Chains A and B, each alone.
Chain A
């Protein structure tokens, strides 16, 4: 996973790189959460993925910690009667653009919108799967892929965003528009775990969970088109979490 884990630009291939992983050094992930059990679970999960974690329980403490330069913020909205969003608002007012994931037990779309308006970069509603949170934090850490790219390459897969064409091992692959969009999302996040909820939100604009496995079916179709033989798994399932575009296939 450590090798070739990058979106490739042509030319130059090296313009997008991912932050270093698998070390406990570097900037920590700041988790502002006053429910200690949950905070502890988040810490264990993120540390298991190799990130140092810093915990805060209040808005004041969280804001102070946030100013010391964490890599990503994970902020609960309800903190002992205060709204965690105020931390993000204060940071943004200071010109601090540290990526922030807002978590909340409030589930209305209004809250999602206020959360994103206040400067949050992603929004997760309780109760959530801890791996969902982990995948989203990962996505925020790797954020910064260049949106102006015209060509993407991951292993044998090449995508031309202008011609809207895809080639696999230099052979053209015929994709439906929705399949193209889906593959583009993966190719912008090579080697990164992508959850079903992330796909629903970002690819199909669904801000709610569909009950049936529509996503799996669409991915199955895409897989078959990329490799009709089924021998090479470009997009692999990550058990109970989602999918990943395998860069080594």
Chain B
């Protein structure tokens, strides 16, 4: 279960980190907007005042008075505060209760706390511009920043209000993704646990084409293969049990009958010998099973050597020809040119030997067994064909199954594992063993697949 917890925690941590990062980024953006807006506002106000002061410098006192009155009342460019002071320092007109302490430099200056005439004693932040007139007098213009500050405050509040739900939304989305991911892991995990507990028909749930989906699909394919192998194993097990039980039952019956009767020495002897033949069958079957598993253990590839498949075929021809002859079967070998091959010579000889053995077994007198080895499209190729009864199409796929006994082999001697051994050996070498119709008879072909290790000789001649 711990894996699930880890995934869960990890998904949530990821989501949390994601939400935090997005929140910080959003807040930074908001702060930037706020600072930009407020400083732009201040600058704009200052610029207006500087501009007003500049325009008013040359006007006559009377004109100025009128214009300023007008601006104060009509509020075109929002002057809150004006004062005209004559060169002697006397206030000519204006609405200020005091003069702010700013240099007379025609530039905007920020004063933090100013009591305005109609502000009932409240102190406001303000911007002032003082400029000397041509006659030596001073023009003072000022504006309260109260409204701007209020606007900024509103903006700040709005940003804060907007940021909160954004962060919450991000967290919620993160949590949802984390939940979904963890649910998905949980479903996969649950499926794995159920499969481990024996429910081999179950498959991992997969949705979508993402990485997890791909892995789930790969695991499912693997499970299909395992199920197929288990099925195979089970039927092989059943067949093995059957193949062992039959001769044992026969042996037992023979021995029991011999004991029951008042048999003479000769009859006892016959019964014992008959029982021994049955036990020999069991022994052969067990040897063959062990043989297959020994070959299947693989790990023999390190013993692979380059050798000539054609030479092996010629040897096998030499070995089996007398047997074929004694059955009245003609044997032909066509392996004149070397066929460089990389593999285990003993095993390959065994595989071919099983095929030839079968071919001779199932070919009636007057028939032909043919062995051939050559290079086909740059790869080693061997075939063993006969002119016997052949193998019905519907049986062809199954004849390599362990203990499968086709109709033609029902009465034949042997353990029925020869083809399985041959196929196992072929697979070990990256070869495919197939059976075709020889019209009449069967034709077994050994063809290299792309996974077959190439013989050094082959590479040189290629």
Q: Is B300's beta carbon under 8 Å from chain A?
A: yes
- The complex places the Cα of A110 from the Cα of B349 at a distance, in Å, of 16
A211 interface neighbour in B286, B295, B418, Cβ under 8 Å:
B418
Size of A's binding interface in residues, CB under 8 A = 28
Q: Across the interface, which residues of A come within 8 angstroms of B295, CB to CB?
A: 108
**Chain B residue with the shortest CB-CB distance to A240:** B276
Is B322's CB under 8 angstroms from A217's CB? yes
Shortest C-beta distance, B205 to chain A (Å), equals 42
Interface residues of B in 51-68 (CB under 8 A from A): none
Confirm or deny: B437 has a beta carbon within 8 angstroms of a beta carbon on chain A: no
A127 and B287 contact, CB distance less than 8 A = yes
Which of A14-22, A136-144, A200-208, A226-234 is the interface stretch? Answer: A200-208
Q: Which residue of A lies closest to B346 (CB)?
A: A207
Question: Contacts A210-B357, A211-B357, A211-B414 known; A109 to B346 CB distance under 8 Å?
Answer: yes
Bound-state CA distance A213–B287 (Å) is: 17
Q: Are the C-beta atoms of B354 and A211 separated by less than 8 Å? A: yes
- A82 CB within 8 Å of chain B: no
The reply on B196 being an interface residue by CB < 8 A is no
Check A212 against B323 for contact (C-beta < 8 Å): yes
**Residues 287-331 of chain B: 1 if any A CB is under 8 Å from the residue's CB, otherwise 0?**
100110011010110010000000000010011101100100000
Whether A26 sits at the interface, judged by CB under 8 Å, is: no
Which A residues from 77 to 118 make CB contacts under 8 A with B? 105-111
Contact A220 B326 (CB under 8 A): yes
Residue interface bits A123-138, CB-to-B below 8 A is 1, else 0? 0010111000000000
Pairwise interchain contact A214-B323, C-beta atoms closer than 8 A: yes
CA distance A240 to B286 in the complex (A): 19
B 70-108 to A, binary, CB cutoff 8 A, 1 in contact else 0: 000000000000000000000000000000000000000
| B interface residue count range (under 10 / 10 to 19 / 20 to 34 / 35 or more) | 35 or more
CB distance B353 to A109 under 8 Å? no
Give min CB distance, B411 to chain A, whole Å.
14
Report the separation of the CA atoms of residues A209 and B360 in the bound assembly, to the nearest whole angstrom.
16
Cβ of A208 and Cβ of B291 under 8 Å apart? Answer: yes
A221 beta carbon closer than 8 Å to chain B: yes
Task: Tell me, yes or no, whether B189 is within 8 Å of chain A by CB.
Answer: no
Q: Give the dominant DSSP class at B's interface.
A: helix
Contact B287 A125 (CB under 8 A): yes
CB atoms of B294 and A107 under 8 A apart: yes
Q: Please, how many angstroms separate the alpha-carbon atoms of A210 and B299 in the complex?
A: 24
B283 CB-CB contact with A under 8 Å: yes
Q: Within 8 Å of chain A (Cβ to Cβ): is B334? A: no
Contact (Cβ within 8 A) B290 A217: no
Residue of A107, A207, A209, A240 with most chain B CB atoms under a 10 A cut-off = A107
Cβ-neighbour of A110 out of B290, B299, B315, B414 (below 8 A): B299
B350 at the interface (CB under 8 A from A): yes
Does A218 make an interface contact (CB < 8 A)?
yes
- Report if B264 contacts A (CB, 8 A): no
Which residue, B290, B295, B303, B319, has most C-beta atoms of chain A within 10 A?
B319
Known interface pairs A212-B361, A214-B319; A110-B300 also in contact (CB < 8 Å): yes
Q: Which residues of A contact B318 (CB under 8 A)?
A: 178
Main secondary structure of the interface of A (DSSP, over half): loop
Inside 8 A of A217's CB, which chain B residues have their CB? Answer: 322-323, 326
Give the complex CA separation of A36 and B94 in angstroms.
130
Taking CB as reference atom, which chain B residue is nearest A106?
A: B294
Convert A177-207 into 0s and 1s, putting 1 for each residue whose CB lies closer than 8 angstroms to a CB of B. 0100000000000000000000000001111
CA distance A142 to B280 in the complex (A): 28
- Chain A, Cβ-Cβ closest to B273: A240
Are B414 and A204 in touch, CB under 8 angstroms? no
Given the contacts A206-B349, A209-B284, A214-B319, A107 and B291 also touching, CB distance less than 8 Å = yes
Q: Which of A105, A209, A220 has the most CB of B within 10 A?
A: A209
Inter-chain contact B353/A127, CB cutoff 8 Å? no
> Is the CB–CB distance between A107 and B353 below 8 Å?
no
Rounded to whole angstroms, the CA-CA distance of A238 and B312 in the bound complex is 31
Q: Are B322 and A108 touching (Cβ within 8 A)?
A: no
- A107 to B347 Cα, complex, angstroms: 13
Q: Find the B residue at minimum CB distance from A207.
A: B346
Given contacts A211-B357, A211-B415, A211-B418, contact A107 B287 (CB under 8 A): yes
In whole Å, how far is B4's beta carbon from the nearest beta carbon of chain A? 40
Question: Using an 8 Å CB-CB cutoff, how does the interface string of B412-444 with A read, 1 for contact, 0 for none?
Answer: 011100100000000000000000000000000
- Distance in angstroms between the alpha carbons of A210 and B284 in the assembled complex: 11
Specify the chain B residue showing the minimal Cβ separation from A200.
Answer: B319
**A85 → chain B, closest Cβ, in Å?**
17
Q: Is the CB of B349 within 8 A of A221?
A: no
Residues of A within 8 A of B326 (CB): 217, 220
Nearest residue in B to A218 (C-beta to C-beta)?
B322
Chain A residues within an 8 Å CB radius of B283: 127-129
Residues from chain B with a CB closer than 8 A to the CB of A211 are 354, 357, 361, 413-415, 418
Residue of B nearest to A128 (CB): B283
Which residues on the B side are within 8 Å of A208 (C-beta)?
291, 346, 350, 353
Which of B286, B300, B344, B357 meets A212, CB within 8 Å? B357
What are 24 contact pairs spanning A and B, CB under 8 A? A107-B290, A107-B291, A110-B300, A110-B303, A125-B287, A127-B283, A127-B287, A129-B280, A178-B318, A204-B319, A205-B346, A205-B349, A206-B319, A206-B349, A208-B350, A211-B361, A211-B414, A211-B415, A211-B418, A212-B360, A212-B413, A212-B414, A214-B320, A214-B322
Excluding A178-B318, A209-B287, A211-B361, 15 further A-B contacts by CB distance (< 8 Å) are: A107-B287, A108-B297, A109-B294, A111-B294, A127-B283, A205-B349, A206-B350, A208-B346, A211-B415, A212-B360, A212-B361, A212-B414, A218-B322, A220-B326, A221-B322
Give the A-binding residues of B (Cβ under 8 A).
Answer: 276, 280, 283-284, 286-287, 290-291, 294-295, 297, 299-300, 303, 315, 318-320, 322-323, 326, 344, 346-347, 349-350, 353-354, 357, 360-361, 413-415, 418
| Nearest 8 pairs of A and B residues by beta carbon | A108-B294, A107-B290, A211-B414, A217-B323, A127-B283, A214-B323, A217-B322, A107-B294
